[in-house]
């Protein structure tokens, strides 16, 4: 028997198979409500809906679940599985936000961020680093590469939505 479980915040995926050619069972548990954040005003919720979010993640399970969680939260989501693919289609996707795994094959997340920041048309894109490394030096390295935010895996989609909402919240 082959069993795997993935948890992304309140979203849970369970897969079970009795073996080759015997079928599989998939169970996805979603929260009852799609509101992952409780903003102070309705205007802040409306501000998040429709934002284009680009997930760049090499782990297919994490990529799919994160994309699903962000779609549930009102984002228009596109995905890429590595840094070179992301770089190639970035302008076509034209995201407001890019959530990028640091440990990507081919072109790692920090190098992708550096290259994106050299292009003026991507200056206003919110770049969010996602990594298993959470030391102060790791955060500093990510921010110096051009990321705006640094979040540590395992990534809770609610935390991501709150961080994005805080970034876009009016100041003053």
What one-character-per-residue DSSP string does 1-40 give?
-EEEEEEETTEEEEEEE-STTS-EEEEEE--S-S-----S
Average pLDDT, the chain: 84
Cβ-based neighbours of 110, under 8 Å, separated by 6 or more: 102, 129, 141, 142, 145, 147
Residue 2 has pLDDT above 70, yes or no: no
Distance CA 38, CA 53 (A): 20
Whether residue 59 is preceded by a cis peptide bond, meaning omega within 30 degrees of 0, is no
Domains of the chain: 39-168 (3.40.50.2300)
The per-residue pLDDT for 39 is 43
Q: Which among 124, 59, 60, 57 has a CA at the least distance from the CA of 85?
A: 57
User: Could you read off the pLDDT of 83-93 as tens digits, one per residue?
Assistant: 999 999 999 99
In the prediction, which pLDDT does 46 show? Answer: 44
Residue 53 has pLDDT above 90, yes or no: yes
Tokens 């919240």 correspond to what residue?
169
Tokens representing 164?
């994005």
Confidence of residue 119 (pLDDT cuts 50, 70, 90): very high
Cα–Cα distance between 157 and 31 in angstroms, integer? 12
């Amino acid at each position: 028997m082959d069993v795997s479980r993935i948890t992304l915040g309140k979203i849970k995926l369970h897969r079970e198979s009795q073996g080759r050619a015997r079928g599989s069972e998939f169970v996805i548990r979603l929260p009852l409500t799609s509101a992952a954040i409780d903003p102070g005003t309705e205007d802040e919720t409306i501000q998040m809906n429709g934002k284009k979010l680009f997930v760049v993640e090499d782990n297919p399970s994490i990529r799919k679940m994160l994309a699903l969680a962000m779609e549930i939260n009102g984002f228009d989501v596109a995905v890429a599985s590595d840094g070179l693919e992301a770089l190639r289609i970035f302008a076509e996707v034209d995201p407001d936000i890019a959530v990028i795994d640091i440990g990507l094959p081919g072109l790692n997340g920090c190098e992708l961020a550096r290259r994106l920041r050299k292009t003026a048309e991507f200056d206003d894109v919110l770049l969010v680093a996602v990594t298993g490394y959470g030391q102060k030096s790791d955060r500093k390295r990510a921010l110096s590469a051009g990321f705006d935010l640094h979040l540590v895996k395992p990534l809770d989609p609610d935390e991501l939505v709150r961080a994005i909402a805080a970034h876009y919240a009016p100041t003053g």
